[in-house]
Amino acid sequence: MTDEQSSQWWIYLIRTPQNALYCGITTDIARRFQQHQCGRGAKALRGKSPLKLVWSHPVGSHREALRIEAKVKRFPKNRKEKIVLKNLLPSQIFDY
């Protein structure tokens, strides 16, 4: 088993000052959020500080994290807001 297969993957949502929600995945939430804060993360978040981590949950494998992330990124903003407001588990986000 490789490190990637055995690592715990997380999905997260970050809010920008413009109130946009950015979805991403990582194996280390603190490290990845710090990268975003310093402008070393996703291009979509560069120059948009201060950022706020508003939701995160473990999802298991990298494959599962990618699958969920792809779907969440296609959600309209109001659906992402429900995820944050209700602090939904990844297994619950497709029920809304």
pLDDT band at 94 (very low <50, low <70, confident <90, very high): confident
Residue 39 located in a structural domain: yes
Residue 4 located in a structural domain: no
Structural domain range at position 43: 9-91
Q: For residue 75, which of 50, 53, 95, 46 has the smallest C-alpha distance? A: 95
pLDDT of 3: 47
Tokens representing residue 70 in the block: 């792809």
Q: What is the DSSP letter of 44?
A: G
Task: State the chain's mean pLDDT as an integer.
Answer: 89
pLDDT tens digit sequence for 30-43 = 999 999 888 887 77
pLDDT tens digit sequence for 38-63 = 888 777 787 777 999 999 999 989 99
Domains: count for the chain = 1
pLDDT of 39: 82
Q: Hey, which bits of 1-84 come out as E strands?
A: 9-15, 21-26, 52-60
Residue 20 located in a structural domain: yes
Question: Which pTM does this prediction carry?
Answer: 0.88
pLDDT of 13: 98
